[in-house]
Amino acid sequence: MKTKQILSHLYRYLRRSLPLLALALLLAAASVILQILVPKRIGDAIDTIVGPGEVAFSALWGFLRTAGIFVLISAACSWLMTLLLNRVSFRTVRDIRNDAINHVTRLPLSYLDSHQSGDIVSRVITDVDQVADGLLLGFAQFFTGILTIVGTLVLMFMTNIKIALVVMLLTPLSLFVARFIASRTFKLFREQSLARSAQTSLIDELVGQQKIVQAYSYEGRAVESFNACDEKLCDCALKATFFSSLTNPCTRFVNSTVYAACTLVGSFAVISGGLSVGMLTAMLAYAGQYAKPFNEISGVVTELQNALACASRIFELLDEPLPADESLAENALSADGTPVALPEALRGDIEFKHVAFAYVKDRPLITDMNISVRAGSRIAIVGPTGCGKTTLINLLMRFYEIDDGTVTFDGLTHRSIPKPFLRRNIGMVLQDTWLSDGTIRDNIAMGKPDATDEEIKEAAKAAHAHSFIRRLPDGYDTVLGEHGGGLSAGQRQLLCIARVMLCLPPILILDEATSSIDTRTEWKIQDAFSAMMKGRTSFIVAHRLSTIKNADLILVMKDGNVIEQGTHDTLMASESFYRSLYLAGSREA
pLDDT tens per residue across span 403-436: 899 999 988 888 888 888 888 899 888 777 788 8
**pLDDT for res 279:** 78
Contact 28, 81 (CB under 8 A): yes
**pLDDT for res 327:** 47
User: Average pLDDT of 24-40?
Assistant: 86
pLDDT of residue 588 exceeding 70, the answer is: no
Strand partners, 555: 381, 565
Between CA 543 and CA 384 the distance in angstroms is: 8
User: Average pLDDT of 165-193?
Assistant: 75
**pLDDT for res 165:** 83
105-114, 323-332, 510-519, range with greatest mean pLDDT: 105-114
Alpha helices in 356-479 (DSSP H): 389-397, 419-424, 440-444, 453-462, 466-471
Contact 433, 489 (CB under 8 A): yes
| Three-class SS state of 544 | coil
Contact 405, 353 (CB under 8 A): yes
pLDDT of residue 247 exceeding 90, the answer is: no
Select the more confidently predicted residue: 366 or 548. 366
**pLDDT for res 175:** 67
**251 within some domain:** yes
Alpha helices in 209-276 (DSSP H): 210-215, 219-245, 247-271
What 3 state SS string does 379-412 have? EEEECCCCCCHHHHHHHHHCCCCCCEEEEEECCE
* Structural domains counted in the chain: 1
User: Average pLDDT of 191-199?
Assistant: 84
Confidence of residue 329 (pLDDT cuts 50, 70, 90): very low
**192 within some domain:** yes
**pLDDT for res 328:** 43
**pLDDT for res 50:** 62
pLDDT of residue 302 exceeding 80, the answer is: no
**pLDDT for res 227:** 92
- 75 CB-near residues (< 8 Å, 6+ apart): 31
Contacts 24+ apart (CB under 8 A), 77-80: 77/27, 77/28, 77/30, 77/31, 77/34, 78/27, 78/28, 78/31, 80/24, 80/27
Q: Given strand 378-382, what is the order of strands in its sheet?
A: 426-429, 507-511, 537-541, 378-382, 553-558, 561-566
Range of the domain at 34: 3-318
**pLDDT for res 589:** 42
**514 within some domain:** no
**492 within some domain:** no
| Three-class SS state of 115 | coil
Helix (H) or strand (E) holding 54: strand 54-55
**238 within some domain:** yes
User: Average pLDDT of 433-449?
Assistant: 86
Sign of CA dihedral 360, 365, 370, 376: negative
Contact 447, 499 (CB under 8 A): yes
What CA dihedral angle connects 553, 558, 562 and 567, to 10 degrees?
-20
User: Average pLDDT of 134-155?
Assistant: 78
The candidate with the shortest Cα–Cα distance to 160, out of 19, 268, 308, is 268
**Alpha-carbon Rg for the chain in angstroms:** 35
What CA dihedral angle connects 412, 415, 420 and 424, to 10 degrees?
40
**459 within some domain:** no
Between CA 179 and CA 300 the distance in angstroms is: 11
Strand partners, 97: none
| Three-class SS state of 333 | strand
At 171, the amino acid letter reads: T
Sign of CA dihedral 507, 513, 519, 521: negative
Confidence of residue 332 (pLDDT cuts 50, 70, 90): low
End-to-end CA distance of the chain: 59
Between CA 372 and CA 553 the distance in angstroms is: 10
Q: What is the domain-level CATH number for residue 160?
A: 1.20.1560.10
Which has the minimum average pLDDT: 392-401, 416-425, 464-473, 578-587?
Answer: 578-587
User: Average pLDDT of 116-125?
Assistant: 84
Which has the minimum average pLDDT: 303-317, 329-343, 554-568?
Answer: 329-343
pLDDT of residue 335 exceeding 60, the answer is: no
**197 within some domain:** yes
Helix (H) or strand (E) holding 367: strand 366-373
Confidence of residue 339 (pLDDT cuts 50, 70, 90): low
At 312, the amino acid letter reads: S
Between CA 285 and CA 31 the distance in angstroms is: 17
- 2 CB-near residues (< 8 Å, 6+ apart): none
Between CA 110 and CA 123 the distance in angstroms is: 18
Contact 204, 255 (CB under 8 A): no
**pLDDT for res 504:** 86
Between CA 331 and CA 328 the distance in angstroms is: 9
Strand partners, 566: 554
| Three-class SS state of 286 | helix
The candidate with the shortest Cα–Cα distance to 101, out of 134, 124, 78, is 124
**pLDDT for res 349:** 92
Between CA 541 and CA 370 the distance in angstroms is: 18
Rounded to the nearest integer, the mean pLDDT of the chain is 82
User: Average pLDDT of 481-493?
Assistant: 77
pLDDT tens per residue across span 207-239: 878 888 888 888 888 899 999 989 999 998 888
User: Phi and psi for 232 in degrees, rounded to 5?
Assistant: -65, -45
Between CA 302 and CA 298 the distance in angstroms is: 7
**218 within some domain:** yes
Sign of CA dihedral 484, 490, 495, 496: positive
Alpha carbon distances (Å) from 430 to 266, 427, 495, 517, 546: 83, 10, 12, 13, 19
Contact 262, 139 (CB under 8 A): no
pLDDT tens per residue across span 523-568: 777 777 777 788 889 998 876 676 678 888 999 888 888 888 888 8
User: Average pLDDT of 187-196?
Assistant: 82
Bridge pairing between strands 54-55 and 438-439: unpaired
pLDDT tens per residue across span 260-291: 887 888 787 777 777 777 777 877 787 777 77
